[in-house]
Chain A
Amino acid sequence: MDNNQLVAIEFQEVVKKFGSFTAIHNANLKIHDNEFFTLLGPSGCGKTTLLRMVAGFENVTEGNIFLFGKEFMHLPPNKRSVNTVFQQYALFPHMTVFENVAFGLKMRGWVKDDIQPTVWKMLDLVRLRPFAERKPNQLSGGQQQRAALVRAIAPRPKVLLLDEPLSALDLKLRQAMRLELKQLQQETGITFVFVTHDQEEALAMSDRIAVMSEGVIQQIGKAQEIYESPKNEIVANFIGETNILQATLVELNDEEAKYQIAEDFIISGGGASGLVKNQEVKILLRPEKIRIGTSDNQIDSIPGTIQQSMYLGTDTEYQVRVPGEKTLKVRDQNGFERRKLLPAGSEVSLSFSKDSIRILRS
């Protein structure tokens, strides 16, 4: 990202403690204006806490958070121009959909003549006009979700905070809502800060992602960066599946490095800058980057035996036994060429390109 882009939210050395438990360790993060930013991590990693501190429901133990460069931590939630879409939607049960969407505008002191057209515009945005007079409990889950969304967008907050808003929906609806959320963000131009534990959701929608674990921001980057070049094992393990192999750097020259995993298992690859010979490293290899073949006369291929095969529709997943008593997970796409499922016990050869392995210092 461009460094001189407008920063919507900036976390500076933010620490949050609940009693003796530290929920957030020195978080530093810049979220840009008009960005779809995702905080991704397993439950309990502190991502919701970060969001609640921006909304004003939690205070900051140490450090500071800025909204478009201005201090705002001293303001109560109702004085902050950020709005939240809550995980359970929190639509007011005694109000109609219209009244719910109008609520924020009314509280901001808008006059009735301005509220009406804005609410209708919002309801049209998410196709809820026919449901304006319904109570929240007369709506489906997806409709409630959309109502909660526009209720938070209607007052045109500077930043919209979304706390796992899709987690209560079923899979099909969740996928449809992803698209809708992304569109809504682009149409409104509001900065979205999205919290989720669902990596697929994060990869699909976000401009940038911050991966969190145990209160620490592990890596910040675009979806592809996070997936292709995870900074550490935590990120690699959390985003997608990966094979992690312990190895020793045994040969090193300008173009190539060789890593020994077991006595008869040496692979070559790049990524050796800053490494010295005999250094212990970890090799990350995504299952879908490995090609599985039956002929064993390929150059640089690793012989293996299939231990288990699992047919998953679009892919087949194989557990392949390779030299050194290791097991590699391989994903083979059931694509253009129709292939037979390789049964357990088949002798195969595995190959991958040098670029697809990632080296981590251990």
Chain B
Amino acid sequence: MQVASSVRSIPGFSLLAILCLVILYAPLLVVMVYSFNDSLSITIWGGFSLRWYEQIFFGLEAEKFQKAAWNSITIAFMAAVVATTIAFSAAIGVVRTSPFKGKNLNISLLSLPIMVPEIVTAVATLIFFSMISFKLGYTSILVAHIVFCIPFAYLPISARMQSIEKVYEEAAMDLYANRKQIFRSILLPLMIPGIISGFLLAFIISLDDFIITSFVKGAGVETLPTAIFGSIKQGIKPDIMALSTLLLLVSTILVTISYFLSRADLKNKLN
């Protein structure tokens, strides 16, 4: 704590901190505020209005956005479910086993994709799909999303798994529980916070993915990010701001849930 206070005593520290926060959040704030702008211009304030929100739901492009939103949400949900299941199984295999040859390699290989530039993954996925003549469309997006979501889901799940001491399973085994019962009544309940965090992270990552999706989506199928990108090609209209604000809202809610879950968990552990 000494170190923290010494950094804070450097002159101009708070100014710098505020500047950083402004740079981080000002663009988001502008989008949020101007999504309620009555004016057609995106730079001149013309009074408060909900017309752009109305536009998204009932306007000319409403059908397109709704379809894209439906695609985004269903893909994100399914991708997150499958990725979480795979990540959970992987975590059991890697964390819950005695050391085996290549265990460390396995751990690194599982989280490496996070560091691979997304554009590389996108190109590689597209090449792979065309090599096996996989028809591009809804399913190809889903498959690609499942794959790139796995390492993200794996992060909180394996972290949680590592924090659960082996002694609980030993105690359960000592008290006559078989493998299945240990999994169901000890490991799974203790893993729930990690699983939920992993699921939410995968869901958000999938929901806002643009690069990979735009490579593998094929013609005619849109997710929200690609639909938004498509419609700003003809100029930024305020309804995009409204849509972005809604997306931001969904993300914030999910992240907040995830945060409180891990907080409650931490509190439990500390007591």
Contact = CB atoms under 8 A, between A and B. Distances in A.
Given A88-B167, A90-B168, A76 B173 contact: yes
B175 A137 contact: no
A151 interface: yes
Contacts of A84: 170-171, 174
A83 B165 CA distance: 19
Interface stretch (A18-26, A100-108, A121-129, A199-207): A100-108
A90 B190 contact: no
B268 A55 contact: no
Given A92-B168, A92-B172, A107 B177 contact: yes
B165 A88 contact: yes
B173 A77 contact: yes
Q: How large is the interface on B (under 10, 10 to 19, 20 to 34, 35 or more residues)?
A: 20 to 34
A142 to B, nearest CB: 16
Contacts of A137: 268, 271
A83 B175 contact: yes
Given A92-B186, A93-B190, A94-B189, A78 B173 contact: yes
A138 interface: yes
Contacts of B173: 56, 76-78
A155 interface: yes
A107 B186 contact: no
A56 B152 CA distance: 37
Nearest to A154: B175
Contact of B167 (A77, A83, A86, A138): A86
Contacts of A108: 176
Given A86-B167, A92-B186, A138 B175 contact: no
A219 B271 CA distance: 42
A78 B170 contact: no
A96 B271 CA distance: 15
B175 A151 contact: yes
Contacts of B190: 93-94
B135 to A, nearest CB: 45
Given A78-B176, A107-B181, A152-B174, 7 more contacts: A77-B174, A88-B165, A91-B171, A93-B190, A94-B190, A107-B175, A138-B271
Interface of B: 165, 167-168, 170-178, 181, 185-186, 189-190, 268-269, 271
5 contacts: A55-B174, A78-B177, A90-B165, A107-B178, A108-B176
Closest 8 CB pairs of A and B: A104-B175, A90-B171, A107-B176, A137-B271, A90-B167, A77-B173, A107-B177, A94-B189
